[in-house]
Amino acid sequence: MTSTLATSQIVEKLPTELAQTQTALNISNLGRSFLTRKGAVLEALSEISLRVRRSEVVAVLGPSGCGKSSLLRILAGLDEDYTGEIDWNLEQIDSSAAQRLRSATVFQSDSTFPWMNVEKNLLIGLSGLRVEAQEASRRAARYLGLVGLSGFRGAFPHELSGGMRQRVAIARALATEPLLLLMDEPLAALDAQTRLVMQQELLGIWSETRSTVIYITHDIGEALALADRIVVMTARPGRIKAIQTVPFGRDRDVVELRREPEFGSLEADLWKLVADEVGQSLDGSGRKEPKE
Ligand SMILES: Nc1ncnc2c1ncn2[C@@H]1O[C@H](COP(=O)(O)OP(=O)(O)OP(=O)(O)O)[C@@H](O)[C@H]1O
Ligand SMILES: [Mg+2]
């Protein structure tokens, strides 16, 4: 495959395995506008159309303010004030369905409950699922271990660092083994080493749970390390500027991957696409901010 991306062109080439997979969600012509305090209309998202396959990991890159979190809130069902259509096809008819959440979200800022200890913060995510006590303990041990917090089960959020609190929020979402996992810059608050370890762990978990994942990040290397496809968004109003298929298999090693020449050239191509849009969003050229 070629690693050259044509600006403003949507590249929609899928690995054969994914092309044959069922659709998990189909977003058609999605738009979202907000009213500012002065009553001006701020168009945050426009003409977003995207088909996500089951078990696919889609990363979303784009400049600050281009509507990434707005899109995630809509997909999480927290904002219904959008235009366009979203068709869901997540239902799973097998014995594990009652033990898995339909969708779980990790938000951009940590979202732990300060009055609950780490273990309770995780277990609260499982309430509502038909998970027996023994299975709940297994998941708590597994996912807290995985984010490196086994020794902090009884600690309260105020006793943890910001990065640790974010890891609690990640463990809580993962423990629900959701059919759809929505993540908004989940690793941004972590140090570089922990981030790499977590990236490798996420790949391992997703291959086990086969979750469909929408993963927002500012980190191009992270998008290449984790995703099957990468969506690049324009400056506000956020539109889809390009979609890049990631040519690496899922059994990738996130550190070794960085040595591959194709990783470097894709990273450079994606950076050019994103940098153009970051420039647009910073100098405001062509797009006017509504007056407050
Ligand atoms: N509730 C709201 N009311 C008014 N405007 C909003 C609201 N939520 C978001 N916006 C505006 O919509 C635009 C997109 O915001 P959003 O948070 O989705 O961006 P983002 O891409 O997630 O940015 P970042 O990378 O900085 O997290 C911004 O201009 C923001 O000011
Ligand atoms: Mg955001």
Atom in ligand 1 nearest the alpha carbon of residue 32: 12
**What CATH number did the domain enclosing 262 receive?**
3.40.50.300
- Is residue 97 pLDDT above 50, yes or no? yes
* Residue of the CA atom closest to atom 6 of ligand 1: 34
Identify the nearest ligand to the CA of 278 by its number: 1
What per-residue confidence (pLDDT) applies to 102?
Answer: 83
CA atoms within 13 A on the CB side of 199: 30
Residues 267 and 163 in one domain: no
Is the CB–ligand 1 distance for residue 48 below 6 Å? no
Atom in ligand 1 nearest the alpha carbon of residue 45: 14
Banded pLDDT at 284 (limits 50, 70, 90): low
Rounded distance between C-alpha atoms, residue 156 and residue 119, angstroms:
9
Q: Which of 178, 208, 233 is the last residue of a domain?
A: 178
Residues 151 and 192 in one domain: no
Residues 151 and 169 in one domain: yes
- Over residues 122-145, the pLDDT tens digits come to 999 998 888 899 999 999 999 999
State if pTM tops 0.75.
yes
**Residue 167 forms part of a structural domain:** yes
Report the domain count for the chain.
2
**C-alpha of residue 65 to centroid of ligand 1, in Å:** 5
Rounded distance between C-alpha atoms, residue 19 and residue 143, angstroms:
31
Residues 75 and 185 in one domain: yes
The dihedral region occupied by 125, where left means phi > 0, alpha psi between -120 and 50, and beta the remainder, is: alpha
**Residue 100 forms part of a structural domain:** no
Residues 52 and 151 in one domain: no
**Residue 205 forms part of a structural domain:** yes
Mean pLDDT of the chain: 87
Residues 242 and 259 in one domain: yes
Q: Which of 178, 208, 226 is the last residue of a domain?
A: 178
Is the CB–ligand 1 distance for residue 64 below 6 Å? yes
* DSSP code of residue 159: G
Q: Which of 156, 178, 200 is the last residue of a domain?
A: 178
Atom in ligand 1 nearest the alpha carbon of residue 233: 21
Is the CB–ligand 1 distance for residue 68 below 6 Å? yes
Residues 228 and 288 in one domain: yes
- Is residue 19 pLDDT above 80, yes or no? no
Q: Per DSSP, what are the bridge partners of residue 230?
A: 59, 244
Residues 49 and 172 in one domain: no
**Residue 96 forms part of a structural domain:** no
* Residue of the CA atom closest to atom 27 of ligand 1: 64
Residues 172 and 201 in one domain: no
CA 258, 260, 261, 265: dihedral to nearest 10 degrees?
-40
What per-residue confidence (pLDDT) applies to 57?
Answer: 97
CA atoms within 13 A on the CB side of 45: 24
Identify the nearest ligand to the CA of 66 by its number: 1
Residues 132 and 233 in one domain: no
Q: Which residues span the domain enclosing 255? A: 1-90+179-292
Cis upstream peptide for 237 (omega within 30°): yes
**C-alpha of residue 143 to centroid of ligand 1, in Å:** 31
Q: Which residues, at least 6 apart from 244, have a Cβ–Cβ distance to it below 8 Å? A: 5, 11, 229, 230, 232, 266, 269, 270
Average pLDDT over residues 83-110: 81
**C-alpha of residue 243 to centroid of ligand 2, in Å:** 19
**C-alpha of residue 184 to centroid of ligand 2, in Å:** 7
The SS3 call for residue 273 is helix
* Residue of the CA atom closest to atom 12 of ligand 1: 44
Residues 170 and 213 in one domain: no
Which of 48, 21, 32 has the alpha carbon at shortest distance from 232?
A: 48
Give the range among 91-95, 139-143, 257-261, 268-272 with minimum mean pLDDT.
Answer: 91-95
Sheet of 180-184, strands arranged across: 103-106, 180-184, 212-216, 57-61, 229-233, 240-245
Rounded distance between C-alpha atoms, residue 220 and residue 98, angstroms:
35
Give the range among 8-22, 163-177, 277-291 with minimum mean pLDDT.
Answer: 8-22
Residues 83 and 162 in one domain: no
* Cα distances (angstroms) measured from residue 150 to each of 41, 145, 167, 171, 227: 47, 5, 11, 11, 28
